[in-house]
Structure 1
């Protein structure tokens, strides 16, 4: 049990209100304090338990992701009786999209509780969603499914899940564009290359061609982001044709 005491003692005196703040966020008094501290411990802290296992939020993030998916799936099953498996899967993906989870974590200010040796300004935007999932995992392991379900309804479903709005929400412009190209027998290609320029962070640029014609360009800090940005621009260029087909 010494590793638990070490974790509990690792937080600074300024974090004396940590569990009071957690109570405000989750809506009940945490029982297993070590779970919540672990949920906000970044891997850069290099903490390990007595058996040498790493202590950080990543495993709780895995649990939280699964619980979120199950609660949202059950909600959609009841809420949308006409939806088939494909429809329900797409809708669940929209609710638990990385973009949405990042907004949820940011709204709750979860990054303010992180213990890390890396300045929070250096984290990417996904840290917000990762922490939200880790918190859900901690709630589930601490209080069980029922408490966790209530938290998800309070913080996710009731304030943010609008079925009609979600039906029109695009998760991935790249996937949508590729699907359209394949249906219409259009050739397409994403030409991605490093484009650091004068920026401190590495950047990537992409040229998207359809039928051997450049239709959009974009630049971002990752290949995935650059491709998605170029796809979004191409989508709006061909929006009438794409929406007519769908």
Structure 2
């Protein structure tokens, strides 16, 4: 009869094997040190500490992955667009590594399925997808080095998603676009933000965007930032012909 310790050990080995296989499928190569990837998929709510008593979660790897993404994509743009100045290259890189885009990448790879957390998946915000993607990039760098990290970024980000011509016309922030236009045209603008309880008592934020003391657009969303962006998008389409001439 197996002891409790042996049963537990076998259970952990099986669990590790399943995790290893899932990570290998995402990466397209075999990890050398699976512990880096375990950390990349560990949410801070798990409250796990390493041997030194330090929090063991993906947040430090997220920082590292963000830097690696920026470096690889910056080098790619530098080589692909030799006529682009610093401002152009910075703007294009921002479009590629925008939070919205990274969230899409994380969702496409279904990374959240592997997250170790005490928080139910449905309670995660959208940013968890992009955060885990960045942490995964950081884990690859520590595990396999720069060349493997660069190859992964090319395969998962640059080749399928980086179309220079399409990105040139992509708007990162409608709010920034509207504010820039208002400042250039010397128009007064104001975002009036208020709490707005939605259906079933859901906490929402309402926004009224006024330009020259006239309400141009209204919007509601789950955060102030999202509501402002949605209202700005509607204002943009109301003034698109004038804004695009700037």
Q: What's the TM-score, normalizing by structure 2? A: 0.93
Counterparts of 1:176 and 1:169, CA distance in 2:
11
Aligned residue number for residue 47 of structure 1: 48
1:35 deviation in Å? Answer: 0.6
Residues 95-114 of structure 1 aligned to structure 2 (within 5 Å): 95-114=96-115
Query: In the TM superposition, what whole-angstrom CA distance separates every residue of 1:22-45 from its partner, at most 9, and x where no partner exists?
Result: 112112111111110000000110
Aligned residue number for residue 38 of structure 1: 39
Answer yes or no: is 1:134 the counterpart of 2:135. yes
Counterparts of 1:214 and 1:114, CA distance in 2:
43
Counterparts of 1:185 and 1:12, CA distance in 2:
65
Moved over 4 A (4+): 8-15
Residues 83-232 of structure 1 aligned to structure 2 (within 5 Å): 83-232=84-233
Counterparts of 1:92 and 1:202, CA distance in 2:
34
Q: Across the two proteins, how many residue pairs are aligned to each other? A: 238
Q: Which moved more, 1:113-122 or 1:19-28?
A: 19-28
Answer yes or no: is 1:238 the counterpart of 2:231. no
Counterparts of 1:31 and 1:194, CA distance in 2:
50
Aligned residue number for residue 6 of structure 2: none
Residues 65-76 of structure 1 aligned to structure 2 (within 5 Å): 65-76=66-77
SS state at 1:48 partner? coil
Q: Mark the structure with the bigger radius of gyration.
A: 2
SS state at 1:47 partner? coil
SS state at 1:170 partner? coil
Q: 1:10 to 1:104 in 2, by over 3 A?
A: farther
| Unaligned 5+ runs, structure 1 | 1-7
Query: In the TM superposition, what whole-angstrom CA distance separates every residue of 1:187-240 from its partner, at most 9, and x where no partner exists?
Result: 000011111234454211000000000000000011000000000000000000
Q: What's the TM-score, normalizing by structure 1? A: 0.93
SS state at 1:203 partner? strand
Over aligned residues, Cα RMSD in angstroms?
Answer: 1.7
| Unaligned 5+ runs, structure 2 | 1-8
